[in-house]
């Protein structure tokens, strides 16, 4: 057992006659390690990007809600009448009347009735 650990520490398995097989396996392990490191780095970048986009979505959603409530205030009749009073335009005290536009056939019929 003592000789086996000592030979591993001295790395005799890399300089023996059959060391080519060992080197191929070591290079394979290094390539796998590099692929895992690259994959982890890519995963972390995507995670950070997702977090940034989530924050941006929350900010945009809150801005949307603010603008929508502001629009609702601006659309209120009281707000509009206040802004028009400054320009000298006041709301009418007389309710509007409905005007009905008649088709050509109906015009002829009503003209005959009036004559």
pLDDT tens digit sequence for 19-62: 777 788 889 999 999 999 999 999 999 999 999 999 999 999 99
Residue range 58-69: average pLDDT? 97
Q: What is the mean pLDDT of the chain?
A: 84
Burial 54-76 (b: 16+ CB within 10 A, else e): eeeeeeeeeeeeeeeeeeeeeee
> Would you state the pLDDT for residue 77?
87
Give the residue among 35, 7, 2 at the shortest CA–CA distance from 19.
7
Query: For residues 58 and 21, what is the distance between their CA atoms, to the nearest angstrom?
Result: 56
Q: What is the pLDDT of residues 80-114, one digit of tens each?
A: 888 888 888 888 888 888 888 766 665 565 666 56
pLDDT tier for residue 1 given thresholds of 50, 70 and 90: low
- Tell me: pLDDT of 115 over 60: no
Query: For residues 115 and 107, what is the distance between their CA atoms, to the nearest angstrom?
Result: 12
Residue 87 phi/psi, 5° resolution? -90, 0
DSSP 113: H
């Amino acid at each position: 057992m003592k000789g086996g650990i000592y030979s591993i520490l001295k790395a005799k398995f890399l300089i023996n006659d059959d060391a080519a097989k060992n080197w191929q396996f070591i290079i394979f392990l290094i390539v796998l390690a590099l692929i895992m490191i690259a994959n982890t780095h890519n995963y972390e970048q995507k995670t950070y990007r997702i977090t940034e986009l989530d924050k941006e979505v929350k900010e945009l959603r809150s801005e949307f809600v603010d603008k929508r409530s502001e629009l609702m205030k601006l659309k209120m009749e009281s707000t509009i009448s206040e802004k028009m009073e400054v320009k000298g335009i006041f709301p009418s005290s007389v309710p509007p009347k409905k005007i009905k536009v008649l088709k050509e056939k109906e015009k002829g019929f009503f003209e005959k009735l009036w004559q």
